[in-house]
């Protein structure tokens, strides 16, 4: 039953699966739940800035190659 839910093979609980799609990973590691402010991170993790670049990244990638990270994904 677990196997049907988890779209990748997950050797240990909470271990980052290699096949996890980048787009899902970025949803989580890019400051979605900021707890603290770092010293140098202020400009780096400024969310609009990151989102903007990310958007540009995703768009430009899409035009050149079809969703390269979908390969390892659950789709």
**Which residue ranges make up the site for another protein (CB under 8 A)?**
1-2, 4-8, 10, 12-16, 20, 22-41, 43-45, 49-50, 53-54, 56-58, 60-62, 66-71, 73-75
The token pair at 23 is 């787009």
Smallest CA-to-CA distance from 32 within 43, 23, 45 is with 45
The dihedral formed by the CA atoms of 17, 22, 25 and 31, expressed in degrees to the nearest 10: 150
CA Rg value for the chain: 15
């Amino acid at each position: 039953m677990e196997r049907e839910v988890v779209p990748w093979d997950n050797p240990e609980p909470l271990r980052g699966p290699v096949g996890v799609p980048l787009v899902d990973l970025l949803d989580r590691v890019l400051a979605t739940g900021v707890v603290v402010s770092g010293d140098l991170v202020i400009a780096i993790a400024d969310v609009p800035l990151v989102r903007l670049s990310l958007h540009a990244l995703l768009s430009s990638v899409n035009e050149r190659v079809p969703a390269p990270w979908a390969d390892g994904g659950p789709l």
